[in-house]
Amino acid sequence: MSSLPTATSLERARTLQQRYTADSGYPHVIVLGECDEDWQTYYVVTAREARRLLAGGYELLERE
């Protein structure tokens, strides 16, 4: 998963989501990755990548 685009804030994840969707022509979604009290990781991925993450127990946050 280290090759997937990540952000550490929801605001930054939304910015990446818009940019990747516009640049690639494919809708991107935001999936909540690793998190604890002090740290959150958001993955900005295509629907195909999101399915793999969701199967691994991650949570879908936003669709484009």
pLDDT at 12 (0 to 100): 96
pLDDT at 1 (0 to 100): 61
Q: Looking only at Cα atoms, what is the longest distance across the chain?
A: 35
8 A C-beta contact, residue 44 and residue 17: yes
SS3 assignment, position 32: strand
* 45, β-bridge pairs: 29
Residue bearing tokens 């989501």: 17
Per-residue pLDDT of the chain (64 residues; tens, 9 = 90+): 668 999 999 999 999 999 999 999 999 999 998 888 888 999 999 999 999 999 999 999 877 6
